[in-house]
Structure 1
């Protein structure tokens, strides 16, 4: 009886849990708190945190790969004995044990399927009218990608390979699907910490950006009221995704997958002829893929791979990338304001990172703190959606150089 009890206790996860797993479970609980109690991107952080929780429960095996066993036929005849003596065996590969559930779900990330599908849904929810009405917004979205390349060189200086540095730098674009897409192609062994860092910083936009924005602008600059945007015609909205897809794909073929799916989703929305497809992309499809992507991303953050010095370096470099990207957009907006006939509020420059629409909302909120009558949301959406394009283009550049 005692032996049975001991065997049962030894079969429980309690007997095998490590300090690292306890630490990662604690991190998962912190993410739950930020998502549920503080409201930081709960649609992203809840599935990511739960995937992290599941991956660090001992003996659960949810990320276990299929076990392939080598079966050797018993030697029963003289001919088999002769072959055995010569080192030749009658062997068969048999997969006896299936992998864990999330092991199979994670194939959607590893094979580059989930990120483009997310882009399809994002495109169907995105209004490019503010960007079309104010093309200068494209410059602000491009400037915000400076954090990616700045951090790339910083990671190289710390001893990361070019492929690893490119994957780390893309965190600065504040675009989780792009970070996953690039990392799976260049540095799949870093997928866990990079994906968790990218999505965490996306969720923390309201915390990270305001101090940077206020430090780089004066009170008077934050009070600037911008001219109302012109009305964009339906024809312009339909032509835009087609033209962008052609131009970007011809210049940077590796970016065609992300840009193409983003613009396809937008064409569903703007054409007026594919309402059912647009509704599916903005609701059922993106919700399902977000769940699967979030859980599988979180499950890559197991204690053995996550709790390392390398992960700490990635987390630090990620926040540097994000901070530099936000600052670059603000600084370029200040420069453009010196030469622009119509005043530009520099706060919209920080929205050049592609955390849509959170970054634009933060720009609007900080602006209203200085001038309650100021409404910057639509103006900030221009750089914000330009940042989505910019991060995909930056990923295409990295793939062209280092894949």
Structure 2
């Protein structure tokens, strides 16, 4: 009899440790969300390098376990492997390294050749500050509103960096929202691009950009660093690494370093960031009314950013000569989703004029958007930290 009771107690203890005994409806919902992310990445090829690590991370983070058992397997349990890896997100280590890799793979020639395209990237930042106002109106504290507003820049690393400083408690919701809208660029932007432009505007052919010298390419990251960080010193971790990575690429004498920054290093950090951000969405901490509000405001900010870029080009064209007019279809590229936003400009443009190649022009505001979102994050950090 004692043996049977002991066996029964052991089985009960085992059952208490299983995921089945600790599962809730929230865990099931989040696991379904993770599966949707993986499906979109594989079936639709929406940002697979981001959505697969994040989607699988969501699965990892929502495997139920008995938290009272002290197993140290959860991402929020101090000392666990996931918790240690998550410190790169919480402490803001990963985003600057990713920015260095982005700088090492980015060609700023389009922006250097036509500096007025920088204004489009600046115009798209209206989405950030518009969302900030909406978030305040919805009851979020100023620091939380700043973190939510940055979603409009469509820049996941920037959103993570700023939120880790201003509102760590919102990190999972903000990061998932930012990366979700980055992945959905091909779905969200085209309807607004068609709605806000006329058939005549979509047919505009822009003249080929001038050839940019190697000297200009080398000077750009140095001058860019000095101008932006003297203006917004709080953006130094992101802007400094972005321009440093670009100098590695353009100097011509640090090829190995540039290849490492834009290859193995950025890939490693992207894996760790995506997996841990996904794992941070534990149902017990993620499924809250605030998360839904963040997703709604994030969508609003992204739409406003897209529309602001397109409308700014239409306004700017009023002051340009016919031969210098800009096709408004590249206005959407002012958000920081590189290179997907620029690619959408090309795809939509070819629908109306098969001989019109907008990609090289759209890359100008697209890379300007990367700089612009980092500057906006620096402004938010300077005022709200």
Matches within 5 A, 1:4-403: 4-59=10-65, 61-66=73-78, 99-341=79-321, 342-403=324-385
Question: CA–CA distance in 2 between the matches of 1:273 and 1:286?
Answer: 20
> In the alignment, is the contact (CA less than 8 A) between 1:175 and 1:355 conserved in 2?
yes
Query: d(CA) in 1 for partners of 2:17 and 2:81?
Result: 20
CA offsets 1:120-154 (integer angstroms, 9 cap, x no match): 00000000000000111110000000000001000
**What displacement does 1:6 show?**
3.4
Q: Answer yes or no: is the 8 Å Cα contact 1:179–1:195 preserved in 2.
A: yes
- How many Å separate the matches in 2 of 1:64 and 1:156? 28
Equivalent-residue separation in structure 1 for 2:158 and 2:63 (angstroms): 29
Q: C-alpha separation between the residues in 2 aligned to 1:259 and 1:115?
A: 11
Partner in structure 1 of residue 68 of structure 2: none
Residues 258-307 of structure 1: CA distance to partner in whole angstroms, max 9, x if unpaired? Answer: 11100000000000000000000011100000001111111111112221
* CA shift for structure 1 position 15: 1.2
RMSD over aligned Cα atoms: 1.0
Q: Which residue of 2 aligns with 1:72?
A: none
Larger Rg belongs to = 1
Deviates more, 1:374-383 or 1:243-252: 243-252
CA–CA separation in structure 2 for the residues paired with 1:147 and 1:362: 19
Contact 1:102 1:295 in 2 (8 A): no
* In 1, Cα distance between equivalents of 2:291 and 2:157: 19
Question: TM-score, structure 2 length as denominator?
Answer: 0.95
Q: Deviations over 1:197-222 (max 9, x none)?
A: 00010000000000111110011111
1:338 positional shift:
1.6
Shift of 1:111: 1.2
Q: Distance in 2 between matches of 1:395 and 1:64?
A: 26
* Cα distance in 2 for residues equivalent to 1:368 and 1:28: 34
C-alpha distance in structure 1 between counterparts of 2:328 and 2:59, whole Å: 41
CA contact (8 A) 1:192 1:306 kept: yes
Give the length in aligned residue pairs: 371
Contact residue 156 and residue 165 of structure 1 kept, 8 A: yes
Structure 1 alignment gaps of length 5 or more: 67-98
SS at match of 2:208: coil
Question: What is the CA-CA distance between 1:64 and the residue it aligns to?
Answer: 3.9
Q: Which runs of 5 or more residues in structure 2 are unaligned? A: 66-70
Give distance in 1, aligned partners of 2:232 and 2:146.
16
